[in-house]
Structure 1
Amino acid sequence: MRTVEISEEPIRLGQFLKLAQLAEDGAHAKELIEDGEVHVNGSVELRRGAQLREGDVVVVNGDEVSVSVRP
């Protein structure tokens, strides 16, 4: 599992997918979410605006990424 740092929390799921390079752009992020391919903390997440906080784990196609806040 890799970690992606954000400058402040919370961050929206769609933004995080782009930042973590799990999605190419906003349209791709939306498609992944609508298709049920995004899991947050073990559950399918269908809300692009879901708020992520430090320690949350996002999984897309087997790629696990945890959220960390930059000190």
Structure 2
Amino acid sequence: MEIKLNKEFITLGQLLKVTDFISSGGEAKFMVNELNISVNGERENRRGRKLFSGDVVIIEGKKFEVI
């Protein structure tokens, strides 16, 4: 699934909300440690991680490409 940017970047926490893995931003703090998340092939658990165009994020086996 493609995630289109309106700005220069999106944070991992915002991506979790946009993709409905969480319902509020406050949940991101806990869910980044609970969910199996990788960014460009590396495990990630920082909700503030900036994602730019071209980044590939896999959350619980579902692939998202930031464009």
Q: Give the TM-score taking structure 1 as reference length.
A: 0.78
Q: Which has the higher strand share?
A: 1
- Give the alignment of 1:1-71 within 5 angstroms: 2-35=1-34, 37-68=36-67
Q: How many residues align?
A: 67
**Which consecutive unaligned segments of at least 5 residues does structure 1 have?**
none
How far apart are residue 45 of structure 1 and its match? Answer: 0.6
RMSD: 1.6
Percent identity, aligned pairs only, is: 36
Q: Which stretch shifts more, 38-47 or 27-36?
A: 27-36
Q: Distance in 2 between matches of 1:36 and 1:20?
A: 13
How far apart are residue 38 of structure 1 and its match? Answer: 1.1
* Contact 2:37–2:58 under 8 Å retained in 1: yes
**Which consecutive unaligned segments of at least 5 residues does structure 2 have?**
none
